[in-house]
Every structure is written in C-alpha cells, then in structure tokens.
Structure 1
Amino acid sequence: MAIFGKQALGIDLGTANTIIYIANKGVALREPSIVALRKETGEVVAYGKEASKLVGRTSDTYETLHPIRNGVIANFSLTKQMLGHFIQQAVNHSFGKPEVVICAPSKISKVERKAIIDAIKALGINRAMIIEEPFAAAVGAELAIEEPRGKMVVDIGGGTTDIATISYGEIVHSLTLIAGGNSMNEGIAAHVRQEHQLVIGDYTAETLKMVIGTAMPEQGDLEDHLVVKGRNVALGVPGDAKVSSKLVLEAIDEVISQIIVGIKQVLEQTPPELSADIMETGIVLTGGGSLLKRMPKRIEKEIGVPVVLADLPMDCVAIGAGKMIKELDRQSRIIEKKSRL
C-alpha cells in the first residue's frame, strides 16, 4: 500500500480515541475510535468523527461499532481499516511507508500483541514497535524516566487505566484496570435512567461528566444541574430531565475509587526507595479521564502523595510514542548487526 510518506508516527490506538503524532511536527490526528457500516453488506461508510455523528441517529440499515474495547482489539478487520484510514489522513496521502511506534496497555497478552502487529503489517508497514501505554505517557509527559529514581504515571483512558512505577528507563510495577472514562459514562447513563426514567446516549453522559461532574465536590458544586434530553422509559417518547451534579458524582465515584485502589496496590508493590522518590516527585496524571474536575486533588487527598496533571494529558501517550522512534532505530540496528554474525 504505497500511500504513506517517509514519516515517523506515534499512535495511541485507544478505546475512545485514536491520536497520531508525527515526530518533529506534532499531533496530526485526533479522532474517535468508531466505525459506521452498512449492516447488510458490512461496507464501512464512515470513520471517526463522521461515524460518531451517526451514533444513535441511524436507521436499522447502519450500525456504529467500537473496534477497540477495553484497550484490546475486538474486531481485527475493522481496526485495520480504521487505522489505515486514520494514517492516510495524518500523512496527507504521501508516498512511501512510515515508521510506527504504537501503544498498548501494560500486561497485554502475546495474542493481543500479535493482533496489533498484524494490523500494522497488513497496512504494508514493516518497521513498527509496540510500547506500553504508561511508559509512553511518561515519555510524553517529559518525565526523566532514565534516572535511577522512582516515577509514577497514571494514564486514565476511555477503556482502561494504566498505572505504573518507572525507574532507570524501565517499568518496575504496573497494573491495568478495566475502568476509565467509558465506565464513568455508563454509570452516569444508568443512574439517569434509574433516577429520571430517561435513556440518554454516551455523548450526553460525557457532557454531564465534563460540565457538572467532579471527583471531589466543593461548596456549592452539588447544587449544579444540567437539563438533558433523551427517551422516556415508560412512554417511549422524547423527554428531558434536570440532572444534578450529586447524581453524576454518585455515578462515577465507584470508578474513581477503583482507580485509587489500583494506585495503592501498585505503590504497595513498589520498593521503599522508589516510593520515597515518588513522595518527592509526585504522581503524574495523563489521559482524557484525568481532565475530570479535581481528579488530581481527590487522588492526592486519598493517597497522601502529591499529584499533578500533565501539560497535554490527552496527547501524552501519542507524543511519547513518537519520541520513541529513536528506540525503534536502535533495535533495528541491533537486529541488523545480529543478522551479520
């Protein structure tokens, strides 16, 4: 497939969004990881933002799918097509083949790793490398991971949350939770249905989370409300409801608590010397889920360790992957040298 320019790409193939970073240029693409297709033929009709516009708004002729679920490729064929489409968009249909570093959750299985590599190779890309998401997030957040000092990064994505302690350029301990922004949205939708007998979509749930949601309420926060529209459960007709910030907090609190418990587990497994370092350097939050209002403050209060939000939390993984191209070059030289022996 000779459609690519000779460029180095860092790809965050996420459950909620796919982000592509071009080395020395910046983020070239940020699209929802959604595909719309015609049911009868299986033909893809839209990707990304165009596909997301059809969610909940199409007839039985079309359906929208998330080919990545909980950080894992659930539909290989659609993932390959979606990835190829996004790469074409990012590199502006140039000629040649890019070099790719793509991210995956820590603790990914060999089968899942092979599925990602196969998806990349099926696009005609020969030089590719997989790195773990929390490591890429740390690089993208510009942490000095090569130092023999403990660093901790918590990447709260759509489908998963990756937690890792890093020292001397390696992950010391890590944990992947099936909990993130999507879980929060599902909780909000369930609570709105139960409390107001109103069915709402993911976009509305996300809006509630970001507009009136908070990880740690302060005075006056729980008085906030937002009117949303959906379908009345009992009547089956359009309806609306005045949703409170208190309801949103109740809906997302379980997911936040899961993330905090996960951080504690990783810290408990971390050697005391590195834990002391983390107490000084703090925990760095990345990922779209870290943008929830007062998320750093909530974690800091419950963990007792300083917590900071990365400068570009949504893009850290893709940026870090792009910066790891030099590691791909180093590995290629080692393989080439071994083949000559």
Structure 2
Amino acid sequence: MGFFNFLTQEIAIDLGTANTLIIHNDSVVVDEPSIVAIERASGKIVAVGKKAMMMHEKTHEYLRTIRPLKDGVIADFNAAEGMIRELIKMIYPKKPLFAPSWRMVICIPSSITEVEKRAVRDSAEQAGAKEVYLIHEPMAAALGIGIDVEEPVGNMIIDIGGGTTGISVIALAGIVCDQSIRIAGDEFTADIMEALRRYHSLLIGERTAEQIKIGIGSALKELDNPPDDIPVNGRDLVTGIPKQIMVSYQEIAEALDKSIFKIEEAILKALETTPPELASDIYRRGLYLTGGGALLRGLDKRLSQKIKLPVHVADDPLRAVVRGTGIALKHIGKYPFLMQ
C-alpha cells in the first residue's frame, strides 16, 4: 500500500503571473519566476524560472522568453504546460524510478472565467496531474494568514499579485463580494519604466524596473526609514549611449501614485457593496494585505489613511497564498466546499 501512496504525490501550486510556488510535504520546494525560455525553431524549452529570467530581454533570434501568464490567467497554453511540467521536475532533482501521479490543488483568481479555469485544469493535466482541484486565491490567502474561513465573521483580503489585485470579503467559507482590477506588480513596473523615460530620457528594461521597485519602491513620499538613492543604468534616449542616473524613493512614489490610487478606489467600491453586518466586522478587524505588492513600503499606512481602517500586512505575504493552498490540500476532506 505504501508503494502506491508513493506513486500518488500531492502538491499545492500558486500559479502566479510573476512567480510560481509549489508546496510538497508541507514545505515550499519550488519558488521560481513564471517565465520560460524557448527555442524559436523547435519550440523546445531551454530554461524555466530563475535561469529563464536571467535570459529575459537578452535573447537573440534563436531564443525567446515567454511569460505564460498574464493578469493572473494563462495567456500561452503550451508555454504554461511546459513550465508546470519543468517546475514539477524540480521537486525531485534525481529522476525517480517510477514517475508519480500527481494530485494538485492550484489557486486561481476569483474573477476567472470558466474558459480560463478550463485552461488551468488542462495545463495541469497535460503536465501529469491525475486529479486537479482549484481554489480561489482570496480563500487560499485567508487560510494562509490563519483566518478561520468557516466562522460567520467578515474578513476583507486584498491580494496584490503580479497581474491582478483581488479585493474580497469572505465569510462562512464563501466569497460575499469581490472586486478585481488588473493593476498590480506588473503595472507598477511599467509605471517605473515610463517615469524614467519621461523625466530622465532613460530607457530601462523590465528586469531593471523590477529591481528598482524591490530596492526603493514606496507608496508614500515621506517614509520613517527611507531607503538610499540607487544607481540605475539604461540607454539615453537622446544620445543612444548607455548612462547611469541616481533615483530616489520619492520619484518612485510619484510614479506609482496613480496606480495605487486606483487600488484605493477599488477597495472603497468593494466596501460600498459589503453587507452592513460584515462591514461592522471589517471595521473591528481591519483589512489584510497579501501578495508581493503588500511589500511596497508604506502601502499599509497609505491605505489606512485613505480608508480610515487598520490595515495588516500578512507575515511573509509572498507565500500566504501558497501556504493556504497547502493547508487546503492537507485538509482536502475538511474543505471540499472551497474546491472547484
């Protein structure tokens, strides 16, 4: 019996626009960027994850890099299937004698359509899954930060990922109201690229903008512990010659202002549609921030000032969703109502 148990292995996957995380045996075994490098002629996958990210925007005519997910959903089916397959292989660096069959729980955005759901399911099955369960990201995030999703109490979860920001009020193991906007980490990165192009005539790539966002990204122009200015290299749009400039966190806060304002508006809209009894729970408990965007300096403070409610950033917000997906997988019998 133990042999057959070995052949059926369970994994929880947070299939994100920016990063994909996999939990196996209660620990995060894969944490890689959601990107693949492919040979143009043959379509063969050359690299996935960090290796592919190092090639991003540096490829030649025989290679190209693809981000298979856009705005939280699969944009390139074949690349997504190949990426999932290669990332699963990372769980066992040494190839096992018998390939295990996988039971997978994958989290999906709450605003996903039936067609997009089918694409996720099909990609997982093509990558070797025998059983596929889907769980909505807000539910997974709530489980991951330790909220009892079954109790009759309202909780507002704001999950700022790579492609989308999901704002959900959950109670009694269900999503009561839901707002999803396509403004998140990728949009922040684009804002930084545009600001440097406009104010410094400096053309930078996605990877550099991402490093700026992580290094000095801020939602407020006045921080208690401000980060130091950082040097940024790019191409001068006037002369065409590479150059370096120093960039401050205030400039980045200015660049991100419009996008963060749209997230604030979406939160207020979600609060407007919340039933009054749940709204009183949210007033007492505050809002919970998860996802990579929650790491933006001063974001919790800015949202709290705007909405006049306490805002809590989850411990390790990047992994909150995958942790919750792992809990749902471990207690699959307890949470069947969460599965799609």
Which residue is equivalent to 1:86? 87
Letter of the 1:16 partner, please give it. A
Question: Which SS does the other structure have where 1:127 is aligned?
Answer: strand
State the shift of 1:237 in Å: 2.4
Give the alignment's Cα RMSD to 1 decimal.
2.1
State the alpha-carbon separation in 1 of the partners of residues 70 and 296 from structure 2.
21
Alignment of 1:24-63 (within 5 A): 25-63=26-64
Letter of the 2:212 partner, please give it. L
State the alpha-carbon separation in 2 of the partners of residues 114 and 105 from structure 1.
13
State the shift of 1:152 in Å: 0.8
Cα gap change, 1:330/1:122 in structure 2, threshold over 3 Å: closer, same or farther?
A: farther
State the shift of 1:236 in Å: 2.2
Letter of the 1:182 partner, please give it. D
Which residue is equivalent to 2:259? 255
2:3 aligned with 1:11:
no
Letter of the 1:212 partner, please give it. I
After superposition, give the CA deviation of every residue in 1:165-213 in whole Å (9 maximum; x if it has no partner).
Answer: 0101111111111011110010000110111111111221122222222
State the alpha-carbon separation in 1 of the partners of residues 331 and 175 from structure 2.
16
Which residue is equivalent to 2:144? 140
Give the number of aligned pairs.
Answer: 330
Which residue is equivalent to 1:229? 233
Which residue is equivalent to 2:311? 307
State the shift of 1:7 in Å: 2.6
State the alpha-carbon separation in 2 of the partners of residues 165 and 327 from structure 1.
23
Equivalent of residue 218 in structure 2, options 202, 214, 218? 214
**Greater mean deviation of Cα atoms: 36-45 or 67-76:** 36-45
Equivalent of residue 171 in structure 2, options 167, 175, 199? 167
1:145, 1:167 within 8 Å by CA — same for their partners in 2? yes
State the alpha-carbon separation in 1 of the partners of residues 322 and 250 from structure 2.
34
After superposition, give the CA deviation of every residue in 1:111-135 in whole Å (9 maximum; x if it has no partner).
Answer: 0001111111112312111111111
Alignment of 1:253-292 (within 5 A): 253-292=257-296
State the shift of 1:19 in Å: 0.6
User: Structure 2, unaligned stretches of length 5 or more?
Assistant: none
Which residue is equivalent to 1:122? 126
Question: Which SS does the other structure have where 2:256 is aligned?
Answer: helix
TM-score normalised over the length of structure 2: 0.91
State the alpha-carbon separation in 1 of the partners of residues 222 and 336 from structure 2.
53
Question: Which SS does the other structure have where 1:216 is aligned?
Answer: coil
Cα gap change, 1:5/1:232 in structure 2, threshold over 3 Å: closer, same or farther?
A: farther
2:99 aligned with 1:98:
no
2:290, 2:317 within 8 Å by CA — same for their partners in 1? yes
1:260, 1:299 within 8 Å by CA — same for their partners in 2? yes
State the alpha-carbon separation in 2 of the partners of residues 54 and 40 from structure 1.
17
State the alpha-carbon separation in 2 of the partners of residues 19 and 219 from structure 1.
31
Letter of the 1:198 partner, please give it. L
2:159 aligned with 1:155:
yes
1:35, 1:47 within 8 Å by CA — same for their partners in 2? yes
State the alpha-carbon separation in 1 of the partners of residues 195 and 7 from structure 2.
48
State the alpha-carbon separation in 2 of the partners of residues 221 and 227 from structure 1.
19
State the alpha-carbon separation in 1 of the partners of residues 274 and 117 from structure 2.
26
After superposition, give the CA deviation of every residue in 1:74-127 in whole Å (9 maximum; x if it has no partner).
Answer: 100010000011112124444321211101111210100011111111123121
Cα gap change, 1:41/1:237 in structure 2, threshold over 3 Å: closer, same or farther?
A: farther
State the shift of 1:68 in Å: 0.4
Which residue is equivalent to 1:336? none
2:221, 2:254 within 8 Å by CA — same for their partners in 1? no
Which residue is equivalent to 2:329? 325
State the shift of 1:227 in Å: 1.5
Question: Which SS does the other structure have where 2:133 is aligned?
Answer: strand
State the shift of 1:327 in Å: 5.8
Question: Which SS does the other structure have where 1:60 is aligned?
Answer: coil
State the shift of 1:326 in Å: 5.0
Q: Give the fraction of aligned pairs with identical amino acids, expressed as a percent.
A: 38
2:250 aligned with 1:246:
yes
Q: Report runs of 4+ in structure 1 exceeding 6 Å deviation.
A: 220-223, 330-333
Which residue is equivalent to 1:74? 75
2:85, 2:128 within 8 Å by CA — same for their partners in 1? no
Cα gap change, 1:60/1:239 in structure 2, threshold over 3 Å: closer, same or farther?
A: farther
State the alpha-carbon separation in 2 of the partners of residues 59 and 306 from structure 1.
49
Cα gap change, 1:292/1:332 in structure 2, threshold over 3 Å: closer, same or farther?
A: closer
